[in-house]
Amino acid sequence: MNVLLGANAVAALAGIAFAVVGGVRPTALSESGTPTAGERFYGWMYATRGVPLGAAALVAPLAWSGPAGSLILCAAAAAQVGDAVIGVATRKWTMIAGASLLTSIHTATAVATA
């Protein structure tokens, strides 16, 4: 169980890190040269979703065992599924792999702590 909680913490921190990078340097994730106004806008939108959700996924299994913590982890997993689908649509294999791994970790932690 401790290994799973550790993996979940690493996954949550990775999600937070990518959200911050998306907000501060959106071109790092989009791989374009100069960020457009739309890239900056959506980068900040991603950050405002990803940072609080990642922080909740980090704290939830430690603070609330049972249904409350599992619900938060399921929400974090659902957001990662969305990121994986975006990765499929844009053919970004690293995004697909990373988001799929984080989905698996959050889901496994939700089941284990339910």
27's tokens: 């071109």
Each residue's pLDDT tens digit, 48-59:
999 999 999 999
Distance CA 84, CA 62 (A): 26
pLDDT confidence band for 33 (50 / 70 / 90): confident
- The whole model's pTM is what? 0.88
- pLDDT at residue 39 tops 80: yes
**pLDDT-derived band at 24, boundaries 50, 70, 90:** very high
Q: Is the per-residue pLDDT at 63 higher than 80?
A: yes
- Tens digit of each residue's pLDDT (9 = 90 or more) over 90-101: 999 999 999 999
